[in-house]
Structures are given as structure tokens and as C-alpha cells.
């Protein structure tokens, strides 16, 4: 289905979602000065996944929004990864910057090199390198989310991760997935990349409902049942409230 306008609009919406997806998580980390429960390995895996995903989207000539999308993913993932070290490992700000900047430059250089290499392979009708990029990006994105599944299994709760971030990211995956359907030819690998992560996020949201929301509702209902109904204090009798004049007069005994 070749509908360029729909592909660009949906891809842009997906890119916007991915542009802001990690911002709620970054804000939550900043406000609580804590990243407990948030997996640094997930952020590093996502930052790395942005490289093959960016290569794939650019070489396959997806719409502009989908080409920019992976670059934003890598950058925000590294910012969040730095927060894990700053708040979780108590590293200095300079140490975090020193770790992030060289890694960002290295990943960018690798992506540029792979784009030229895979473009040359595509011109020679060699398909396996681009397929490898698609599979690698899907695996890295999935591995990042699966890291939280293990944490959920261990602690029986969804912790450290913003549900707003999850919802926005899932929306970004959904819009990006649909935008691929409106490209000149349906790209199965592109659908697998976005569809895999979308399914995993839905699973996280279900776990949040089971381990976080339902216990909260149950506890709230029990708390309401334990609360005693408000009782009215017994009002004083009318004789103690409204005194007659005779009751208010103090009798004095006359002096002899």
C-alpha cells in the first residue's frame, strides 16, 4: 500500500512519541533522585539497538521520521543510562559525561560506517547484511524490555519504571508499525522490529495491572472496610444547654 502522506504522518507521530518517551522517566528519576528498579542494562541495550535500527531505516529509505527516530532513541537511552550511574552508583556528573560522550560518538561513527557499507551491499543486491541489522535491532530492543521481566519475576512488582513512559513508547511502536504498512511495499522485518517491542510493552502493562494496580485496589477496599462509620457525639440534655433564669441565679445566704 503506497500512501506516502499516511506513512509520513503516522511515522512522524511515532517519532514524536519516541522523542518524548524517555522524558517522563528522566523527569521521574530527577525528582526522586533515585533509579532503583530501573535497569541500566536495558538503557545500554536500547542505545546500542538504535545503531542497527537507524542503519536499517535509512538504507531501506523509510520516511524521514523513522530515520530520525533511532537517533533520538540512542541519545535519550544514554542520558537515562547516565542517570542510573549518577543516582544509583553515586558517580560524579563529570564521570557520567565522560562515559556517555565517547560512547555516543563511537555508536554514531559505527552507524555511519554501516550505512555506507550496507548501501553498497544493497546496490549489489546482497540482502543478508540488512536482514542482520533488522534482526539485531529487534533482539536488542526485546532484550532490553525482557530485562524488566526478570526484575518483575524476582520482586513480584513492576518497579522503577514510569508507566507513562511505557504507554508513550508503546504508542510510538504502534504508530511506527502502522506507518510501515503505508510504505510502497510492506516490510515484514520492519513490522517485526516494532511489533515485538509493542507486544513486550503490553506484557509489562499487564504485569503492572496484576502486581501493582490490583493489590492497590484491594488494599484500598480493605482500608475502607476497616474504617468505622462516623458516629455523632451524644448531645447534651436540654437542661444543660438551655438554662432557665431560676437555674442561673446563685442563691446567697443572708448574713446573720
Write out pLDDT tens, residues 189-214: 778 877 888 899 899 999 988 988 88
In this prediction, residue 250 carries a pLDDT of: 44
Q: Of the candidates 166, 157, 153, which has an alpha carbon nearest to the alpha carbon of residue 212?
A: 157
In this prediction, residue 196 carries a pLDDT of: 84
Is residue 55's pLDDT more than 90?
yes
Report helix angle 64-83 to 4-20, nearest 10. Answer: 10
Is residue 241's pLDDT more than 50?
no
How far is Cα 65 from Cα 127, in angstroms, rounded to an integer?
24
In this prediction, residue 236 carries a pLDDT of: 47
Domain extents in the chain: 5-145+160-203
Q: Report pLDDT digits (tens) over 132-180.
A: 998 898 889 888 888 889 888 888 888 888 888 888 888 888 888 888 7
Q: b/e for 156-180, b at 16 or more Cβ within 10 A?
A: eebebbbeebbebbbbbbbbbbbbb
Helix, strand or coil, per DSSP, at residue 62: coil
The mean pLDDT of 77-90, rounded to a whole number, is 91
CA-based angle 176:177:182, to the nearest 5?
A: 90
Is residue 252's pLDDT more than 70?
no
User: Where does residue 90 fall: left (phi above 0), alpha (psi -120 to 50 degrees), or beta otherwise?
Assistant: left
Amino acid at each position: 500500500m503506497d500512501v506516502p502522506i499516511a506513512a509520513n504522518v503516522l511515522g512522524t507521530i511515532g517519532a514524536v512519541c519516541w522523542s518524548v518517551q524517555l522524558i517522563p522517566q528522566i523527569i521521574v528519576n530527577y525528582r526522586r533522585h533515585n533509579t532503583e528498579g530501573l535497569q541500566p542494562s536495558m538503557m545500554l541495550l536500547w542505545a546500542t539497538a538504535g545503531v542497527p535500527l537507524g542503519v536499517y531505516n535509512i538504507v531501506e529509505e523509510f520516511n524521514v521520521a523513522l530515520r530520525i527516530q533511532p537517533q533520538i532513541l540512542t541519545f535519550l537511552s544514554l542520558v537515562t543510562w547516565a542517570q542510573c550511574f549518577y543516582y544509583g552508583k553515586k558517580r560524579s556528573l563529570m564521570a557520567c559525561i565522560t562515559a556517555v560522550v565517547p560512547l555516543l560518538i563511537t555508536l554514531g561513527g559505527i552507524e555511519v560506517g554501516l550505512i555506507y557499507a550496507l548501501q553498497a551491499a544493497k546496490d549489489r543486491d546482497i540482502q543478508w547484511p540488512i536482514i542482520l541489522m533488522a534482526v539485531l535491532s529487534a533482539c536488542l530492543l526485546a532484550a532490553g524490555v525482557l530485562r524488566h521481566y526478570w526484575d518483575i519475576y524476582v520482586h513480584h512488582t513492576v518497579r522503577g519504571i514510569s508507566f507513562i513512559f511505557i504507554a508513550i513508547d508503546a504508542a510510538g511502536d504502534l504508530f511506527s508499525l502502522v506507518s510501515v504498512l503505508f510504505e510502497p511495499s510492506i516490510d515484514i522485518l520492519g513490522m517485526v522490529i516494532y511489533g515485538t517491542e509493542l507486544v513486550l510493552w503490553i506484557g509489562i502493562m499487564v504485569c503492572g495491572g496484576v502486581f501493582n494496580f490490583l493489590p492497590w485496589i484491594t488494599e484500598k477496599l480493605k482500608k475502607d472496610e476497616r474504617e468505622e462509620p462516623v458516629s455523632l457525639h451524644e448531645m447534651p440534655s436540654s437542661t444543660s444547654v438551655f438554662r432557665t433564669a431560676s437555674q442561673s441565679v446563685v442563691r446567697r445566704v443572708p448574713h446573720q
